[in-house]
Amino acid sequence: MSAQGASLRSKQEIMERLSKPEVITGSEILLRSLVLEGAECVFGYPGGAVLYIYDAMHGFSDFNHLLTRHEQGAIHAADGYARASGKVGVCIATSGPGATNLVTGIATAFMDSVPLVVITGNVVQSAIGTDAFQEADIIGITMPITKHSYLVRDAAELPRVIHEAFHIANTGRKGPVLIDIPKDVSAATTLFQPVNEVSIRGYNPTVQPNMKQVDKMIKAIVEAERPVILAGGGVVYSGGHEGLLEFVTKTEIPVTTTLLGLGAFPSGHELWMGMPGMHGTFTANKAIQAADLLINIGARFDDRVTMKLQGFAPHAKIVHIDIDPAEIGKNVPTDIPIVGDIKTVLELVNKSAKRADKADAWREQVQQWKNDVPLSYVDSDTELKPQWVIEMIHETTKGEAIVTTDVGQHQMWAAQYYRFNQPRSWITSGGLGTMGFGFPSAIGAQMAQPDRTVVSINGDGGMQMCAQELAICSINNIPVKVAIINNQVLGMVRQWQEIIYDNRYSHIDLAGSPDFVKLAEAYGVKAFRASNKEEARTAWEAALQHDGPAVVEFVVRKGENVYPMVTQGNTIDEMILGDA
């Protein structure tokens, strides 16, 4: 029998063993149910209200539990796992402060439509509402940032609740689901009977589109002279990237991908225009503003994409394809709404999609913009430029790495200068803009994709928010490669203060940051520092060749800005292009 066949046989045996009905505790039911739902790695941090659950984990080897050093690290790692794998990420925390430490991560996943099942402990049911030790109403606290929540009052409910939670998290518009388990429920014993069916009244996401609306879109493409496709994260989450490529191949419509849509369309394609919006490319922004047809596929029309709404795509008929009907028409009036799963919609559209024949002159114009005003920066032989560092990372990884980022200037430089050719290779906090996200999300991504190179690009500010997770990389030999773009300042805030606030710099100096090389070495992680190109290449190559985790601190110029830039109150074609 082949190794793959033996693995499948072993997995089947595990499933059969764990599906056997028997009287066990609520904690054991939880663990079995997680495995039956396909959970392979769980991230967590124990505490009093989940001790029965962690006691059940003693000797339990059917999934991997990774003990992080902070609950925020756990949920960001679960988020990275979900984004890299397409599966549901799972994390566990105790009641009170353990649960509230998850809030930022839940909001991050909610804003970016990431499927998570978040399990929290609670005090015993008789103490709920009494302000008991480490009690917090986590369901009430997280109500606006979860797709659904459960307070489990009977251990017998756990199989159904867990099955429903995974289904809700990973269908429709994906998102986080919270399961709150009181301590007496996790301790109680009951007959475990697995649940395989799911029927939730009122929850039936629309997958198949209205074909009349699809036909309207096809007709609009035939008539358009300046069509543009705006592709967002929904393309990645639905698995619709191949359908998008086929659609573009048939129609020959230029494409721009949002921050979360990077990787949904190959960056080397001649019709790709780059990213739009506040720090988007000249070509993408000009094309949207000149378009007579804008086809939004799985993007939210976020304010960082549209900037001044009243002047966004002023000449365009708007087509919006999204699985969430609430997004259609929310920000930008829509002429042709299409509700449905992106992959399914594209499969149907591609059956009749034709070339946009009236757009030949438009394609030439787009190419002219790309040639005349590419992304650019003033390089230096004496200083290390952050844009050059990103280009070097792209070159040395051949564009095949999974790249996670924190939030700020380094995030925008990575989005601009690292070129992605496949989906689920770009992991970043888009909607919430969560500092501290980049490094722990890389740990989750590496656990999900152990055979791929994972690079975590961070600023010196965000890196300090979850640097404690270096411990688990060291202990578990998780080979994440960490690049710290160190400009000794809160870079994006400094840039805004320079451009918008007339150089009134206020509380942005990070000069007291630690020596990142010594910090990494204190955790047992290999580390390097570079302040010029030669040192940068040598250090980065050494990091890539190291078979465990490694940190490289790139010391860059403090005053470097991200360009292009559109300031608040302006339309996206009113760009500051920068020194180059």
Residue count (the chain): 580
Concatenating the DSSP letter of every residue in 176-227 gives EEEEEEEHHHHH-EEEE--------TT-----SPPHHHHHHHHHHHHH-SSE
Evaluate whether 441 touches 454 at the Cβ level (below 8 Å): no
* DSSP-H helix ranges across 272-385: 282-290, 303-306, 342-349, 360-372
CA 327, CA 169: separation in Å to the nearest integer? 18
Unique residue bearing structure tokens 């790139």: 554
Bridge partners of 405, per DSSP, are 457
* DSSP-H helix ranges across 275-359: 282-290, 303-306, 342-349
Both tokens of residue 234?
């929904």
* DSSP-H helix ranges across 58-133: 71-85, 97-100, 103-111
CA 162, CA 320: separation in Å to the nearest integer? 33
- Give the containing element (helix H, strand E) for 543: helix 533-545
Bridge partners of 517, per DSSP, are none
Neighbours of 574 (CB within 10 A): 14
Its sign, for the CA torsion 128, 129, 133, 138, is positive
Kindly provide the b/e burial profile for residues 282-313, where b requires at least 16 CB atoms within 10 angstroms of the residue's own CB.
bbbbbbbbbbbbbbbbbbbbbebbbbeeeebb
Residues 6+ apart with CB under 8 A from 37: 88, 162, 163, 166
φ and ψ at residue 336, rounded to 5 degrees: -130, 95
**Catalytic positions:** 71, 133-134, 183, 492
CA 374, CA 283: separation in Å to the nearest integer? 8
Unique residue bearing structure tokens 């190179």: 453
Evaluate whether 324 touches 172 at the Cβ level (below 8 Å): yes
In one-letter notation, the amino acid at residue 73 is G
